[in-house]
Structure formats: C-alpha cells, structure tokens
Structure 1
Amino acid sequence: MFVATIILTAVLAVLSFFAIKRIRMHAKNYIVMSKIPGPPREGILVGNMTHLQTDTENIFNRLREWRRNFYPMYKFFAVHVIAANILTPEDCELVMSNPVHSEKGKIYDLLHNWLKDGLLTSNGSKWQTRRRILTPAFHFNILQQFILVFNEEADKLVEAFRSECKKSYINITPHVAQFTLKTITETAMGTKLHFNTQKEINYKEAVYEIGRILLYRLSHPWFIEQVVNFFSPWYLQERRVTKTLHTFTKEVISDREKNFKDVELPAEEHDVYKGKKRLAMLDLLLSAKNKEGTIDNAGIQEEVDTFMFEGHDTTAMALGFSLMLLASHKHIQELVVQEMREVLGDLRKKPTYNDLQSLKYMERCIKESLRLYPSVHFISRTLGADLKTHSGYFLPKGTPVVIHIYDVHHDPEIYPDPEKFDPDRFLPENCQNRHPFAYLPFSAGPRNCIGQKFAMLELKAALCAVLGSFVLEPIDTPETVVVVVDIVLRTKEGIKVKFVPRE
C-alpha cells in the first residue's frame, strides 16, 4: 500500500509539473499575443469559435470580414489555443520559406485517421524520405506518359457533357470530380476505374463523405483531438468511411504488387526514366520498398491515400471554376480557342505534352482562376522558433499560424480590382515586380505542392477537350455563385454552365 501511494504520488507530481509548465506557456503566449487585434472572445473555454458555429457560407464571409477589419494580421482563440492569422505575402514568406517552420499545424490532425503520416501530414526526416522517393514521379518524362490518361478521361468528360447538353444547363461539379478522381486513380495507382461496380461506387462515395466529416470536425475544433473525437456524433461514421477507403486502396496495392517488376529509380530529380511501361506513382513506392527498404506497406498506403485526397478534389474545383469563368467571359474564351487553333491546328486533335506546354494564354487563364478561387484556400504551420513578423508582431515558438491564401490573392494593393478576371496579370512583365509569395495556389517554399505541374497539364488537357467540343454559355457567374468554406474551396450548390456544341 505504501509503495502504491509513493508511485501514485510520483505520477501525480510529474503530471502536475507538465500541466503547470503548459499553463505557464499558454499564459505567456496569451500575454505576448494580446497585442495582436482580433475578433472578440465569446468565453474562456470556447474562445472565438462561436463566430464560426454557423453554415459554411457565413464562415467564408466572416473570414473575409476579419481580413478587412484586422489586416495585416489577427489572432484567433480556438478553445485554449491562440492562432495567428497571416494576410500579407511578406509574413507568408517569413513562415513558408524557413524550414524551421515546416511542421504542419494541429489542424492537419484531422486527416490522420485517413492519411496517417503521408507526404501531406508527415514532418522531419520521414517527410524528406517520402519527398525524395516521389519526386521522380513528376519528372517531365513521367508526366508525358500521363498525357494519354488525361486525354482519354477528358474525352469521357466531353461525352458526359454531350449526353446532357440539350438541357438548359449542366451542373458540372460531379462530372469534373469524377474526371479527376479517375485520372488520379490511374496515374497514382495504375488502376483504371469505371465506377460501375459496387466496390468502386462505395469508394467514390466514401471519398466525398470523408470531406463532410472532416469539415464538421474543423468547425468544432475540440474534435480535432483524437481522444475527444471519440465522443463526436460522427465518430463511428468516420471509422466506417475510413475503413472503406483503406480497404479499397489496400486491395489495389496488393493487386499491383503481384504483377510488379522493379523499375529503375532515377538517382536524381533530373534523371530520365527510360522504361517503356507506363509508370504509376505506386510503382516508385513499391520499388523503393523492394530495393531500398525506405518504405513499408503501411507507408505505401499512406502515400496512395494522400495522392487520392490531394490529387482529385483540388483539381476538380480548379477545373469547375475555370469553366465558369471562361463561360462568363466570352472574349477570353475565344482567345483561348484561338490559341488552341494556332497550337493544335485542329481543335479536335489530342494535345501532346509539347502542345500543352505551348498553351501560354490558357495557362494564364488557369493561373488567374486559381488566384480568384484557390482550391487550397488556407494552410497551417506550427512555428519552430520565435518569429518577429514583417507587420511588427512577435509570435512565440509553438504558435499555430494560419496562412489565408484566399485573402492574399484578393489583396487590392497587390492585385488592383481583385475580383476582376484578368489573365494578363500573369504576363511575365506583370509578374516580375510582384512579391514571390503573393501567389500561393500550390503553396511555396520547401513544402510546396509536388504535383503542381501534373495539375496544370491535367487542367489544360481537360480544357482542350471541352473547348474543342463546346461553346460555354454562362449560368453561374462570379457575381451569383455562392462560395463556401470546406477542406477545399467550393460552391454552395455546384457550378452550372450551359454547353452549346461547337460547329
């Protein structure tokens, strides 16, 4: 009994020590960050969270209001944590360019049940190893092999639109989402899906369902903590959906491995893959496992799940917004089609890698669409050291930082008339004096998006197929569409466009 009392006392003493240390740290951070403006607190326990306990449309509008009221930075209390919200490219650079601040913010714990420690969520040496393994998958010689997939799936997207083009409009959101999901599945996993079997349908539905669950946890941040999430009303459903996602990708990986032969991994990023077989990203992971032992089966699944998440929903929304903007600006749409005629000759020609690279005006249109509607509209980091911001505030080590990409992209000091769709903003002469961290659709710095060239080629291939077959007429426009906050930026009720077959 005496020994048990001693042990219990020692345990309580240790716990008390760490609790007091943590309380002192939070108290110190509170005092330091009290100088930063921000929305009023609603209570000691909930902080500012009641401001975001509303629908996704109002959350979006409230964040924009805070940008107007508290520029260039504001603090936000999420339960017991104080986050700094960054709105200027200068402060973005201080955080994003410095490897000491490369650790992802606590908010990414939302994704842990699904993605575990994949490239998006991992840190340190694990992240560096995974990045090294996967970088060759985006070498231009590999990307050239993916153009065939892009064109094949773009043709199917066109046929889906053609089957409905007699309607007064088409809600394009589910169509572009299926296009990008099928594309990333074939390029990432080497598996062509038609989504006509129950297993495939269940997987597609699970991908969409997990997004809704994660948004609920995001707007109720106490459920970000795994222990507390056990009491979430969505907990059991999240487990069921995650199991569906993992079971499907595990089977695909197993099937691919049965017929897999090691590929020659490029030693450096600039090396060329000379194999004749179309290389899936999964093949690089399997080869790294077999030849180097730098990744195991669990790690392979983490990366496949990560690519399925990052590679389809973001690109789908980028494509949807691009089509809406081109429909709403007929003169710009015609300039894109004119460039396609000059580069392709025949509008129905399947573009090659070089053709897609030559579509410079189309690329500027995509870039401007991503400025107006960045799919990844915010990112988060945890400061690895004390930081004095360009705007004059002191942020202590360990502070969660939220970088509001949407607000940086709509800063009128950087982009005059920021709501205007103007592809010429991205002419070389108009970019040269712009701050390098004023445009962040693919993040920036050491943790920038590994797949940005992949995404740009996929978007161009899709636009070539669609604009080669249809004239786009506006239904939804930037003035009427309702933008909402989600894991990615999306609209409240899809995106509606009218398709007129091109003569």
Structure 2
Amino acid sequence: MESSWLETRWARPFYLAFVFCLALGLLQAIKLYLRRQRLLRDLRPFPAPPTHWFYGHQKLLQDGKMEKLEELVEKYPCAFPCWVGPFQAFFYIYDPDYAKTFLSRTDPKSKYPCKVWLPCLGKGLVSLDGPKWFQHRCLLTPGYSVNILKSYVEVMAHSVNMMLGKWEKICGTQDTIVEVFEHINLMALDILMKCAFNRETNCQINSHCDLYVKSTFEASKIIFYRLYSFLRHHNILFNFSPEGHCLQETSQMLHQHTEKAIQDRKKALEEEKRQDNTQKRKHQDFLDVVLSVQAENRDSFSDTDLRSEVNTFLLAGQDTMPGGISWLLYHLALNPEHQERCREEIRSILGDGSSITWDQLDEMSYTTMCIKESLRLAPPVPSISRELSKPITFPDGLSLPAGITVVLSIWGLHHNPAIWEKPKVFDPLRFSQENSDQRHSHSFLPFSAGPRNCVGQHFAMAELKVAIALILLRFKVTPDPTRPLVFLSQVILKPKNGVHLHLKKLS
C-alpha cells in the first residue's frame, strides 16, 4: 500500500510550516479585529464624518485641501475621530479648552510619526521624550538666549538684502511677477547656515544648494503621504517601495550635508586655537552652543546626539521659515491697506533701512500684529500629535483611554468659527492688547504651548520681522489674480504651485 502524501518525509515539514503560518495569520487577524473593536468602543462618544470601511478618512485628508478640514471643524466644534485604514485612528482636536488640557501634560510624541521622521532627523528635540528630552531641552535652551539672538539680526538683514538685490535685477523699474517662495527658501537657508554654523554658502547665488532645499521638500512630502496611508505603515513594505528608496537617498544626502557642516565647524575651531583666538567670529552660533554642551557633558551627550540636534535645527528651521515669510507677504499683498500701514510704521522706525537692530524690532507693534494674524491664517506647522500615556478627561467630561493618538490641529484651532469671528478674514486688530487679553490663552498656538513649546520661536519672530521690514521698504507687493495661493498640507504647510506676486520697486 502506498504511503499518503503527508507521510512522505519531504512533505511533512512544508505542511507543518503551512499550519504554523496559518495560525500566525489567524492570530494577527484576531488581534487586528480586537484592536478595531476597542477603538470603536473608545471613540463612540465622539461623532465622526462618514468613513470608508477600508480606507477610513485617508482620502479625505490625503488630498491636502484645508477647506475640507475647515468644514469638519465647523460641523464638529471640538473634535472628531479620524480613521486611517480599518485598524488605526487618530483623534483630532481644535478647541482651546481641549488644547489646554492636552498640552499641559507630558505625553510622549506619537510613536508612528516619530518613527517616520527618524531617518531624516535622528533623535533630537523633535522626536525625543522623557528625561532625555528634558536634558537636551535644558542644555540647548541657552543657544536661543536674547544675547545670542541679538547678534543674529545683522546676519538676517544681510541675507534678506542679498535676496532683494536679486529682485531688483529681475524687476528693474517694471512691475514684475515673481515666484517668491523659491527665493525666500534660499534666503532662509542662507540665514540658517550663517546663524547656526557661521558658514557662508552663497546658496542664494549658486544653484547647487537647490539640491538641499529640494531634498527637504521631497522628504516632507513622502513622510506626509506615508503618515496617512496605512498600506505604507509597515517598515518592510515601505522600505522596498519607490518612496522608501527615495527617502533613504534623501536622508543620506541631508546627513552628508549636516556632517560636512559639523566637520567644517570643528576645523574652524581648531584653526582658531592655533591662532590663539586672534580671529574671532562676530557672533556665537548654534553649533558653538552644541559643541560646548558636548564638551561639558560627554557622558550624556554623544556624537549621535550632536548630529541629531544639528539635523533637527537645520530641517526644522528650513522647513518652517520660508512658509511663514511667504504667507505673510501674500496676505499683505491681498490687503494693501495693512501693507501700507506696516510700511509707514517701519519707515518711522528704520528710516531708509540702512541698519536694523534688535531693539527696533520690538517697536514694530502693528507689523507684529500682522505677523500674528498671518500665522493664525496659515500656521507653518498645521498640527502636532501625542500618544496618550494615561487616560485624559476633557473639560466637557468626555474621556479617552491611554494609547490613543491625539492630533492637535493648529489649523483647525486657528480657523474655528466658535473662537474667531469671520476666521478667513485678515484682521490684525485681533491681536491688539485689548483683544488678546479677552481671548482664551490656547486659542492661538503657532508655536504650540506647554512644556514642549517651540524652543526657536523668538528666532522665528525676529527673522519674520527683519524680512518683512526690509522687503516693504524696497518693494510694493500685489497678488497675481490668475495664480492664487493654494496650500498643500504636508507635515509642514507648503505652497502647491508656488507663491506668485507682483513686485514693484519703490523709489
């Protein structure tokens, strides 16, 4: 009698392996089913938009249309659950009381977004949590002190004037349409490299530096689409995809750029020592601070920590500032009466703008209100997220358990009609002292709030004031009605088709 197929020596291991894999697959399916049921139970008290059984709200958010988010904010005044596929859900909030409760805690950064950012940033202030984050924050905060920031104003002004010189050559005496975002992007990179690393790159003149700018944009784009596509969540599937290969190459290029900046800086320090400090730099830069921190804390601040913090400073600054300046310029172009009032204020303080100081920035009260209103309408970082380490109860009594990922939509908060009357209207007087005092403390959060607020917010505000002051002294800006600004909501807010403005040189 012939033996059965299962009794043959070669077939039995394959059969056992098949049964084992089938059992593992079944266990995983049960695990995912229970996870979905738990999320459905936890999120049941909160109404949500209609959802697709497989994609969830992925297609709703992935097109990047901020108008859709504004519709949801108006329909669901405090919060709503957002499903990314059938087994993952984020909880979006945009109410000031919800935000205050959320930001007063020390919940860790969401694991998944941080995992997605790690190839580009490493473990710096943006991605660290717990005691190590607190240690890094304390060590690096001196790098943003007023004494250091004061010396940056001259550097910022030099880079802005270089960009304005380019605009004058492009425009001559004519009213000319210019795509300004690319120019501002390179100008912001120039400022960052000088203030952070005391390094002259000539990036506003030499086109090879465009590779760095394009790499940061490409990395941000890939990260955004990975965040909101559950099919790309698994590392193995993502790493073997075209997007995964592209992100690896982009991250490698960014790391090489950062490593070169660090090595160049170390060589400069060694050269200064050999010359007995006879050639001192005009200002202490961020890398000075980080290298000093490493020298004093070698056991707790490694070379890896150094590179991660430098990466974080470079990418965080380069990704956010061009947008902040561009949106401000665009909003003033749309509102010529506010533009002219800013120009008059700036002229009364700076005269012809041949020089600008830190103390003069504090005198620009109306210009500051316009900056804040622009940051309200278009926050460069449209959302932040945390993973709840323990249950949270909101002021209205509704609760969420530990493990839920909460996303604070800063865009939604800043456009919430329950907080802001006519939220789409550009009205700088919202930020007069009287109106600001009457408003909820957590209704305006362009730099977040609480323990993990933006460490570089004073640097950002100084750069915004220097840039807009010098631009308005030399140019009048008006919009191009044929090419309105369209926002692309990625991890950082981007212009979908650039920022096109009419520039007219002032006599």
Q: TM-score scaled by structure 2?
A: 0.87
RMSD: 2.8
Q: For residues 436 and 226 of structure 1, what CA distance do their matches in structure 2 show?
A: 40
Q: How far off is 1:115 after superposition? A: 0.5
For residue 304 of structure 1, what is the amino acid of its counterpart?
V
Counterpart of 1:242 in structure 2 is: 251
Q: Over residues 293-323 of structure 1, what are the superposed CA-to-partner deviations in whole Å (9 max), with x where a residue is unaligned?
A: 1312211111111111111221111111111
Q: How far off is 1:135 after superposition? A: 0.4
Pair 1:438 & 2:443 matched: yes
Q: How far off is 1:402 after superposition? A: 0.9
Q: How far off is 1:292 after superposition? A: 1.7
Counterpart of 1:420 in structure 2 is: 425
What pairs with 1:70-149 in structure 2 (closer than 5 Å)? 70-79=76-85, 80-99=87-106, 101-104=107-110, 106-149=112-155
What pairs with 1:42-441 in structure 2 (closer than 5 Å)? 42-43=52-53, 45-52=54-61, 55-57=63-65, 60-79=66-85, 80-99=87-106, 101-104=107-110, 106-165=112-171, 166=174, 168-195=176-203, 200-260=209-269, 277-293=282-298, 294-344=300-350, 346-441=351-446
Counterpart of 2:501 in structure 1 is: 497
> Is residue 106–residue 382 contact of structure 1 (8 Å, CA) maintained in 2?
no
> Is residue 103–residue 384 contact of structure 1 (8 Å, CA) maintained in 2?
no
Counterpart of 2:42 in structure 1 is: 32
Q: Over residues 454-480 of structure 1, what are the superposed CA-to-partner deviations in whole Å (9 max), with x where a residue is unaligned?
A: 011101111111111112223259x94
Q: How far off is 1:23 after superposition? A: 6.3
Q: 180-189 vs 208-217, which deviates more?
A: 208-217
Q: How far off is 1:358 after superposition? A: 1.3
Which ranges in structure 1 are unaligned for 5 or more consecutive residues? 1-8, 264-274
Q: How far off is 1:262 after superposition? A: 13
Q: How far off is 1:222 after superposition? A: 3.7
Instruction: Give the match's secondary structure for 1:169.
Output: strand
Q: Over residues 378-407 of structure 1, what are the superposed CA-to-partner deviations in whole Å (9 max), with x where a residue is unaligned?
A: 111111111122344221101000111111
Pair 1:482 & 2:486 matched: yes
Q: For residues 48 and 418 of structure 1, what CA distance do their matches in structure 2 show?
A: 25
> Is residue 73–residue 416 contact of structure 2 (8 Å, CA) maintained in 1?
no
Q: Over residues 91-111 of structure 1, what are the superposed CA-to-partner deviations in whole Å (9 max), with x where a residue is unaligned?
A: 011111112x24345223221
Instruction: Give the match's secondary structure for 1:432.
Output: helix
Instruction: Give the match's secondary structure for 1:295.
Output: coil
Task: From the CA coordinates, give the structure whose radius of gyration is larger.
Answer: 2
> Is residue 29–residue 396 contact of structure 1 (8 Å, CA) maintained in 2?
no
Q: For residues 219 and 184 of structure 2, what CA distance do their matches in structure 1 show?
A: 18
Pair 1:463 & 2:468 matched: yes
Q: For residues 233 and 34 of structure 2, what CA distance do their matches in structure 1 show?
A: 23
Q: How far off is 1:180 after superposition? A: 0.8
Instruction: Give the match's secondary structure for 1:234.
Output: helix
For residue 361 of structure 1, what is the amino acid of its counterpart?
Y
For residue 454 of structure 1, what is the amino acid of its counterpart?
F
Corresponding pairs, count = 477
Q: How far off is 1:186 after superposition? A: 1.6
Which ranges in structure 2 are unaligned for 5 or more consecutive residues? 1-18, 273-279
Counterpart of 1:4 in structure 2 is: none
Q: For residues 226 and 246 of structure 1, what CA distance do their matches in structure 2 show?
A: 20
For residue 472 of structure 1, what is the amino acid of its counterpart?
V
> Is residue 314–residue 375 contact of structure 1 (8 Å, CA) maintained in 2?
yes
* Gap change, CA 1:449 and 1:389, over 3 Å in 2: same
Q: For residues 252 and 480 of structure 1, what CA distance do their matches in structure 2 show?
A: 37
For residue 482 of structure 1, what is the amino acid of its counterpart?
V
Q: How far off is 1:206 after superposition? A: 1.8
Q: For residues 364 and 224 of structure 1, what CA distance do their matches in structure 2 show?
A: 41
Q: How far off is 1:218 after superposition? A: 2.8
Q: For residues 202 and 115 of structure 2, what CA distance do their matches in structure 1 show?
A: 32
Instruction: Give the match's secondary structure for 1:126.
Output: helix
> Is residue 206–residue 241 contact of structure 1 (8 Å, CA) maintained in 2?
yes
Q: For residues 352 and 52 of structure 1, what CA distance do their matches in structure 2 show?
A: 43
Q: For residues 385 and 481 of structure 2, what CA distance do their matches in structure 1 show?
A: 31
For residue 192 of structure 1, what is the amino acid of its counterpart?
E
For residue 302 of structure 1, what is the amino acid of its counterpart?
S
Q: How far off is 1:149 after superposition? A: 1.1
* Gap change, CA 1:142 and 1:420, over 3 Å in 2: same
Q: How far off is 1:19 after superposition? A: 9.3
> Is residue 282–residue 304 contact of structure 1 (8 Å, CA) maintained in 2?
yes
Counterpart of 1:267 in structure 2 is: none
* Gap change, CA 1:282 and 1:262, over 3 Å in 2: farther
Q: How far off is 1:56 after superposition? A: 3.0
> Is residue 377–residue 488 contact of structure 1 (8 Å, CA) maintained in 2?
yes
Counterpart of 2:5 in structure 1 is: none
Q: For residues 348 and 332 of structure 2, what CA distance do their matches in structure 1 show?
A: 19
Q: How far off is 1:231 after superposition? A: 3.2
Q: Over residues 339-366 of structure 1, what are the superposed CA-to-partner deviations in whole Å (9 max), with x where a residue is unaligned?
A: 112222x132321010112111111110
Q: How far off is 1:164 after superposition? A: 2.0
Q: TM-score scaled by structure 1?
A: 0.88
Q: For residues 35 and 491 of structure 2, what CA distance do their matches in structure 1 show?
A: 30
* Gap change, CA 1:282 and 1:251, over 3 Å in 2: same
* Gap change, CA 1:224 and 1:178, over 3 Å in 2: farther
Identity %: 29
